[in-house]
Chains A and B, each alone.
Chain A
Amino acid sequence: MDMELTRLTALELGAALKKGEASPADAIAAAQERISACQDTNNAFITPASPSPAPIGDGPLAGVPMALKDNICTKGVQTSCASRILGGFIPPYNATIVERLSAAGSVSMGKLNMDEFAMGSTSETSFYGPTRNPWDLSRIPGGSSGGSAAAVAAGEVWYAIGSDTGGSIRQPAAYCGVTGMKPTYGTVSRYGLIAYASSLDQMGPIARSAADCAAVLDIMQGRDPRDGTSLEGHYGGLLPSLTGDVRGLKIGVPADCFGQGLDSEVRKAVLAVAHVLKSRGALVEEFSLPIMEYVVPAYYIIACAEASSNLSRFDGVKYGWRSPKYEDLSGLYARTRTEGFGSEVKRRILLGTFVLSTGYYDAYYKKALQAKAVITKAYDEAFQKYDVLLTPTTPTTAPKLGESLGDPLKMYLSDIYTVPVNLAGLPGISIPCGFDSQGLPIGAQLIGPPLGDGIILNAAHAFQQETEYHKKAPAEKGGVSL
């Protein structure tokens, strides 16, 4: 029974629970069994939980076990951002989405590993040790929501919540062969998400199908009076609107995203997505999106600037780690932050502090905001012509552990396809679209206009009706056995 349950999608498990084909206790037990089997090898969790089964309520995902990235505040449960500096921090409040998920009957299996403060693309910068890719344990799962993607890929939970500031949901989803979506900025409340870069951060689901993502987003999205950037709008209804009908859908393929630096196997697999959708009646056209040279610098300047301010509150005064070695106030700050933050976080705090400093603000931060405006405008123009854009999620498949951190510039550049989506506040989804010659998953990214979350979900759903990539499990490719 357990073996079968863990192969189901979240919606399939939800339906089975409703029909009484499995009990909530069975689902929890199956998840716990998988977590015990995988944790030592992939280290997807920081804090696993032992939830007690509850009667199934309404909603398609009621009773379905899931897990949360460890930068999402959970009342009474340590929320560490995978950082030493938040060690022992137990929030006295829940993030809004935790309350929404809980009201929808979800069952949390715990808190997931990540790059420290969501800064990174590898999940190696965690104070709790790296997470490994279930498809190949010598490889990274991507990041920063690496624990979320790895746990779903390894069948430990049916879906997971991640956060995405520059690709942190979509990139690990691509590396781990699962479906991950960053919704339109402002549609999911950020209240309770420990901020990395407030103007770019957005939480979203990682799951086994676009339909699962739609079901999770129907729960997560909604106006929240506790978040000033939360948008008014009509929420819900994404799942019922998934028809898989893409006839007449205009898909733009930006040639600028298929040039230099893109692995040829990835290129081929992503372009094949266009063919599949075309075969179902979509119209595909190549066009030029001449912004790609600005996106990485603009992103890192804005994200680091905001991060340098957002992370200032971790000073050892109020909660979390405090260095025992200090003489005076500035010593308390310096020692605590030196010992409490890892080197990638420090690098970004320093970078952000620099670009906001008097004399440099105009040259860097202000320029980056101008670039952001140019990027947003370029997308606006693209969406005058197209309903959906298709790009790779990442230039390559998952690298080996230790390959990326030594060359941060190269690592930053690998975010090129995902970061502009955050800068423009757009919805983006990564879907499995094939495997490279080493058997590693490849992800394709579909990007929609603002509030076009339903459009890209439907296109992704259409693709998944035609293909089986999203149903593949690592065991078949020599990864963690299921």
Chain B
Amino acid sequence: MTWETVIGLETHVELCTKTKIFCSCTTEFGGAPNTHCCPVCTGMPGTLPVLNKKVLEFAVKAGLALNGEITRHCKFDRKNYFYPDLPKAYQISQLYLPIARNGRVPIRLESGAEKVVHIHELHMEEDAGKLVHDPWLEETRCDYNRCGVPLIEIVTEPDFRTAEEVIAYLEKLRSILQYLGVSDCKMQEGSLRCDVNLSVRPAGSMELGTRTEMKNLSSFKAIARAIAYEAKRQIELMEEGKSVVQETRRWDENKDATFAMRSKENAQDYRYFPDPDVPPLEISEEYLEQLRREQPEMAEEKMARYQREYGLPPYDTQMLTSQKALAAFFETCLSLGSDPKQTANWIMGQVLGQLSAKGIEAKDMKLTPSTLVTLISMVKGGRLNRNTAVKVFEAVFDDDGDVEGYVKAHGLEQINDPEALTAAVEKVFAANTQSVADFKAGKEKAFGFLVGQVMREMKGKADPQAVNSAVRKKLNAER
């Protein structure tokens, strides 16, 4: 029998407001334990939450960008459960009237196929603190810094069938939220967290199977592997004639497997009810209109525009818009007069290469557009050959170094002296008579070798085009 995997996602996204959702404490990541909190976010008796209007704004912007219907009369509810990282013993969340519903996110797959992921709802809530276990003292300590950091939870319909679709959606979601400027979506810092609901069913069946929920997925790679593992586990169970137990499972990165955390029988009754401390929100058409107007140009719109205005191929535009900061970098380069295609090539090749080698994101890099533009124009003006330019780029990337200064200090400027080139060619031909003979005998490979030798003689500073033509000319002359 063939099986179909059915997946739905619950994604928690930390909003990058300066202050917390119900008090004015900073949302900054890290900090010494219990230094980013106050009586309100630690739920001290008698204190009251007051909604940060910026959180509503960010959530509505996200809801609009995901093509959702904004709930005009919207409320907060309390989700009650006991845990030491939750100092009020309830989380202020939204169950009955979430801020947005019925969104749609179109995604594109590797094959070029397109698919729409349906968003069931988007709601606002507060984050909990964290527990720090000290194995030496056998003590558990509470750090409430993260308490009250604003989150949106985005719940999809069970629309996914493969890990590829899931990753494509998450990348799209991350791009949208980053472009909106509502979250930095850093999985490693927990500002984007994803729970995966997965079930399997016989191919062709319309009924949903029993699902499990997987938690502790801290990277896209972990998500893909967890999906593969869990689908296989469930299919094996089914094929053995056993049944899947509805439960929450924890992904163990080191063991590459999921493990049961708690079953449905032990599921908590959260006793949701409307929070009497936070008055219902009435969202006006004017407010929505204003936020619609403020919506920035998204990756897809930029892609289309880059293709239209600069004639860039779709692949390039996709790469350039993969991070908001990268697209902004690109656009600034162009505004400084740089050529679109050359700039795109440098960004896709060198900039992305360095970012990935250094493991940083575009928004955190120090390199400025003007530095790249200088480099590109030096190549264009014949002052640097491309290979040397790449070396210079790598040298200045980390701290946005001075290109001119570096080139001068290391004597890297291109040598455009025809006599020096002729001399080098003469020298190489004299020293490599066998290669010259090989070429004449029809071995085209020898040409490349000779060019390389001349370049080496010129200490890499010659214009490769000029070297090419000089070698070719000399060979023709000898023939």
Contacts and interface: CB of A to CB of B under 8 A. Distances in A.
Given A71-B46, A356-B271, 8 more contacts: A91-B39, A91-B44, A95-B46, A226-B48, A229-B276, A312-B80, A314-B45, A356-B272
A26 to B, nearest CB: 33
A281 B173 CA distance: 70
Contacts of A81: 45
10 contacts: A81-B45, A93-B39, A93-B46, A190-B48, A195-B277, A226-B50, A229-B277, A309-B78, A309-B89, A309-B271
Contacts of A317: 84, 87, 142
Nearest to B82: A333
Interface stretch (A37-45, A357-365, A407-415, A443-451): A357-365
Interface string B259-298: 0000000000101110011110000000000000000000
A225 B51 CA distance: 10
Interface in A172-227: 190-195, 197-199, 225-227
B88 interface: yes
Contact of B88 (A91, A190, A313): A313
Contact of A312 (B44, B50, B90, B272): B90
A333 B50 CA distance: 28
A76 to B, nearest CB: 14
B45 A313 contact: yes
* Residue with the greatest number of chain A CB neighbours at <10 A, chosen from B45, B87, B272: B45
* In the complex, the 3 A-B pairs of residues with the closest C-beta atoms, listed nearest first: A312-B89, A199-B276, A356-B271
Contacts of A91: 39, 44-46
Contacts of A318: 42, 87, 142
A329 B131 CA distance: 13
Contact of A329 (B51, B84, B87): B84
Interface string A52-78: 000000000000000000011100000
A287 interface: no
A190 B142 CA distance: 28
B368 interface: no
Q: How large is the interface on A (under 10, 10 to 19, 20 to 34, 35 or more residues)?
A: 35 or more
B45 A194 contact: yes
A306 B46 contact: no
A191 B48 contact: yes
Contacts of A193: 46
A315 interface: yes
Interface of A: 71-73, 79, 81, 86, 89, 91-93, 95, 190-195, 197-199, 225-229, 305-306, 308-309, 312-315, 317-319, 329, 333, 353, 356-358, 361, 365
A317 B278 CA distance: 25
A358 B269 contact: yes
* Residue with the greatest number of chain A CB neighbours at <10 A, chosen from B47, B271, B277: B271
Interface string B342-358: 00000000000000000
Interface residues of B, number: 28
- Secondary structure type dominating chain B contacts: loop
A228 B82 contact: no
Interface of B: 39, 42-51, 78, 80, 82, 84, 87-90, 142, 269, 271-273, 276-279
Nearest to B47: A191
A306 B276 contact: yes
Given A194-B45, A225-B50, A361 B82 contact: no
A306 B271 CA distance: 11
B276 A198 contact: yes
A92 B89 CA distance: 20
Contacts of B48: 190-191, 226-229
Given A191-B47, A228-B279, A356 B273 contact: yes
B45 to A, nearest CB: 4
Contacts of A199: 276
A415 to B, nearest CB: 19
A353 B39 CA distance: 26
A92 B82 CA distance: 24
Contact of A361 (B42, B49, B51, B273): B273
A198 B92 CA distance: 14
A227 B50 contact: yes
Given A91-B45, A226-B48, A315 B279 contact: no
A309 B142 contact: no
Contacts of B89: 309, 312-313, 315
A312 B273 contact: no
A333 B105 CA distance: 44
Contact of B279 (A72, A195, A229, A357): A229
B391 to A, nearest CB: 58
Contacts of A313: 43, 45, 87-89
B261 to A, nearest CB: 15
Contacts of A357: 269, 271
A229 B277 CA distance: 6
Contacts of A353: 271
Nearest to A317: B84
Contacts of A314: 45
B46 A192 contact: yes
Nearest to A365: B273
Contacts of B78: 309
A95 to B, nearest CB: 6
A73 B44 CA distance: 10
Nearest to A357: B269
B146 to A, nearest CB: 16
B139 to A, nearest CB: 13
